[in-house]
Amino acid sequence: MVQAGNGEPLVVVDHVNKHFGALHVLKDICTTVTRGEVVVVIGPSGSGKSTLCRAINRLETIDDGLITIDGTELPKEGAGLAKLRADVGMVFQSFNLFAHKTVLQNVTLGPIKVRGLSKADAETRAMALLERVGVANQAKKMPSQLSGGQQQRVAIARALAMEPKVMLLDEPTSALDPEMINEVLDVMVGLAKDGMTMIVVSHEMGFARKAADRVLFMAEGAIVEEATPEEFFTNPKSDRAKDFLSKIL
- Binding footprint of ligand ADP on the chain (CB under 6 A): 20, 23, 25, 43, 45-51
Residue 223: CB minimum distance to ligand ADP, A? 12
Residue 126 or 185: which CB sits closer to Mg ion?
185
Residue 25 or 187: which CB sits closer to Mg ion?
25
- Which residues make beta-bridge pairs with 19? 24
What's the full length of the chain, in residues?
A: 249
Residue 5 or 43: which CB sits closer to ligand ADP?
43
Residue 147 phi, psi dihedral angles, 5° rounding: -70, 165
Residue 112: CB minimum distance to ligand ADP, A? 31
Residue 55 or 181: which CB sits closer to ligand ADP?
55
Residue 95 or 108: which CB sits closer to Mg ion?
95
Residue 101: CB minimum distance to ligand ADP, A? 27
Q: Tell me how far the alpha carbon of residue 223 is from its chain's centroid.
A: 17
Strands 23-34 and 222-227: unpaired
Stretch that binds Mg ion, among 25-33, 42-50, 213-221, 223-231 (CB under 5 A): 42-50
Residue 129 or 169: which CB sits closer to Mg ion?
169
Q: Which of residues 46-65 bind Mg ion (CB under 5 A)?
A: 49-50
Kindly list the distances between the CA atom of residue 193 and the CA atoms of 142, 188, 190, 198, 205, in Å, as whole numbers in the listed order.
30, 9, 5, 11, 17
Residue 177: CB minimum distance to Mg ion, A? 20
Residue 51: CB minimum distance to ligand ADP, A? 3
Q: How far apart are CA 132 and CA 119, in angstroms?
A: 20
Closest CA to 160 of 73, 246, 90: 90
Return the one option of Mg ion, ligand ADP, none that residue 45 interacts with (CB less than 5 to 8 A, by type).
ligand ADP
Q: How far apart are CA 204 and CA 189, in angstroms?
A: 12
Residue 49: CB minimum distance to Mg ion, A? 5
The DSSP line for 138-177 is GTTS-GGGS-HHHHHHHHHHHHHHT--SEEEEESTTTTS-
Q: Which of residues 63-122 bind Mg ion (CB under 5 A)?
A: none
Task: Report the interface residues with Mg ion, using CB under 5 A.
Answer: 49-50
